[in-house]
Structure 1
Amino acid sequence: MSALLLALALMAQKPDVYLLTGQSNMSGRGLVEELAPAERLPDPAITLYGNEGTIRPAVEPLDTAIGQVDAISTDTIAAVGPGLFFARGLHGLNGRPILLVPCAKGGSSMAQWKPGEGRDTLYGSCLARARAVGKVRGVLWYQGETDAGRPDSAAGWRESFEVLVARFRADLGGKNLPLVLVQLADPPSPEVSAPKTYPAWAAIQAVQAGPIPECVAMVPAGGLPLKADTLHLTTAGQRTLGGRLAVAMDGLLRKGCR
């Protein structure tokens, strides 16, 4: 099939919608300059519902703050995250066109993701975007670094996460809506992160390891390359993570999670 015929065939299909939720490592801090030339080009199978409220070709950075509709989600230093790598990987596995919806906020805690309807909340803003583009097929969640900086936060992380999953499913109309959770990467170096410390890092990782709700999968980020700040994944790290997310989401879909 020619490239033109392939593009027309993909346009005729309604794309599967995936939400990119969490904090800065989902928004992305990898360097655009470290992408391969082909990775900087749009793919006819993958589109983006941008922060400005329009559907357009998906190119990095996905979570750009240009033209933001919801100030609550503005991230002026967003760069390369796992979303586009995920979409390319999943499309390669199932052949379906994909529409990505950025819903991440750098530095956000689990408490800030408490479900609420208003567009002045992270959840409400994300929900409004999801409703604007149609039925959501799945959710990616990468969050926990901020909570790892609070000694007592790990105790409530699992309960808050389970509430969030249940609310996503209730509001988006999917009883078993698939969600893939990223377990935190290696802890930041104390020498680099000081005076900021992360006393609950290992505890959050342990909670994220399970048990987790039905139709939720966990992929680890441990061992992936980190930037000099030892907190954010490099572009290479995000590339690997995106592939893992694609395989995990494909597995959930093949199990019948909807």
Structure 2
Amino acid sequence: MIRPLLVLLCLILPGFAREVDVYLFGGQSNMQGIAKLADLPPRELTPAPGVLFWNGTEFEPLVPGKTRSSRHKGDFGPELSFARSIPTAGRPVFLVKYSASGMPLDPGWNEDTWLGGRKPGRVNFFPGDTRTDPNRGKLYTEMLTTYGDALGFLYKHGHTPVVRGFLWMQGEQDAKNTTAAEHYPANLRLLRHRLSEDLRVADLPMAFGQVLPHSPAKPVFVARDLIRRQMVACDMDSGSPLAIPRCRMVSTDGFPMGTDTVHYVAQGQLRLGAALAKGLDQAMRAK
């Protein structure tokens, strides 16, 4: 009962708790989650003690079936099992998620249309080379705004948020173009770097899931094998020149998927969330 009471006091009494842990989620449909709560066993529907979720206005306890953590009622993403798997320090944990289904990272995309190069106003997660880069993607700006609003809420209520890490699940759209797949490591490194600077979190620990485990992939994913190799190279222990410090890739091979061979079903999402928690813990411990 200690953790629930502590969380209640933190919400009711501004200034009761100063330092609180925050985890940030971002990406496309497998981060949003289209897995069904109805497919979960009852033991997975109990709330994770002391974990709160940003609903766009305020933080609320993460209660499966009550808290809408996906865009659609009755759906969920990796946040449920992540919340049960993360190490805690006896203080509240706050989760903030931004997702945009089917959206790209490479600046050459505008939504699902490949245009190449860089231009202002495109809909993608490209973070820009600098804070003032006019080619920054609209989705990155929206994601950053979501994170900023949530962190600002905590500051306003007397807390000091400590961003522990960033979880990323994205890449299917970039797997539809060879150039986007080739550039993925550079774009992912830039994403982590820009978030670190924009949120003022030094060396932000990061974990991300490898996409498209199903083989053979649908013909539209022309760069499936390439982007998977590039993602492996991004892992902090890959030994590749493309490795990103304090960044762990999580293999998703064997995670149960739906008939579309792209999206995870309930058990797949549970495995994804737990794997991301383990991967992030490893990234957090890295020097």
Shorter-chain TM band:
0.7 to 0.9
Instruction: Tell me how far apart the structure 2 counterparts of residues 189 and 180 of structure 1 sit (CA, whole Å).
Output: 25
Q: Paired residue for 2:150?
A: 133
How has the CA–CA distance of structure 1 residues 114 and 184 changed in structure 2, closer, same or farther, with 3 Å as cutoff?
same
The CA deviation at 1:226 is 0.7
Which of 147, 150, 169 is residue 177 of structure 2 equivalent to? 150
Task: With the length of structure 1 as denominator, give the TM-score of the two structures.
Answer: 0.82
Aligned length: 237
Match of 1:235 among 242, 245, 266: 266
Return the TM-score normalized by structure 2.
Answer: 0.74
Q: Where does residue 85 of structure 1 map in the other structure? A: 81
Q: For 1:59 and 1:120, how far apart are their aligned partners in 2?
A: 33
Change (3 A) 1:78 1:176: farther
For the pair 1:28 / 2:33, whether they are aligned, the reply is: yes
Q: Could you say which residue in structure 2 is the equivalent of 1:9?
A: 6
Distance 2:173 2:222 in 1: 11
1:42 paired to 2:32 = no
How has the CA–CA distance of structure 1 residues 214 and 94 changed in structure 2, closer, same or farther, with 3 Å as cutoff?
same
Distance across 2 between alignment mates of 1:29 and 1:81: 7
How do residues 96-175 of structure 1 correspond to structure 2 at under 5 angstroms?
96-111=91-106, 112-115=124-127, 121-134=138-151, 135=161, 136-175=163-202
1:78–1:161 Cα change, 3 Å: farther
> Which of 244, 247, 251 pairs up with 2:278?
247
In the TM superposition, what is the alpha-carbon distance from 1:151 to its structure 2 partner? 3.2
Distance 1:212 1:87, change over 3 A: farther
The answer on whether the counterparts of 1:188 and 1:229 sit within 8 Å (CA) in structure 2 is no
CA contact (8 A) 2:6 2:92 kept: no
Residue 58 (structure 1) aligned with residue 91 (structure 2): no
Change (3 A) 1:46 1:157: same
Change (3 A) 1:189 1:222: same
Amino acid at match of 2:3: L
Identity %: 30
Taking the aligned partners of 2:283 and 2:62, their CA distance within structure 1 comes to 24
Choose the corresponding residue for 2:243, options 212, 215, 224.
Answer: 212
Q: Is contact 2:70–2:76 with CA below 8 Å preserved after alignment?
A: no
Contact 2:36 2:74 in 1 (8 A): no
Offset of 1:133 from its aligned partner? 2.8
Query: Using the alignment, how far apart are the partners of 1:219 and 1:96 within structure 2?
Result: 27
> How far apart in 2 are the matches of 1:179 and 1:185?
20
Q: Is the alpha carbon distance of 1:247 and 1:94 closer, same or farther for their aligned partners in structure 2, counting shifts above 3 Å?
A: farther
TM-aligned CA deviation for residue 77 of structure 1 = 7.6
Equivalent position SS for 1:130: helix
* Cα RMSD (Å): 2.6
Asked whether the equivalents of residues 25 and 142 of structure 1 are also in contact (C-alpha less than 8 Å), the reply is yes
Q: Alpha carbons of 1:85 and 1:56: their partners in 2 closer, same or farther (altered >3 Å)?
A: same
Q: Distance in 1 between matches of 2:137 and 2:184?
A: 22
> Which structure's CA Rg is the greater one?
2
1:180 — aligned with what? 207
| Higher helix proportion | 1
Greater mean deviation of Cα atoms: 155-164 or 36-45: 36-45
> Where do 5+ consecutive residues of structure 2 fail to align?
11-16, 107-123, 152-160, 234-241
SS of 2:24's equivalent?
A: strand
Amino acid in structure 2 at the alignment position of 1:130: Y
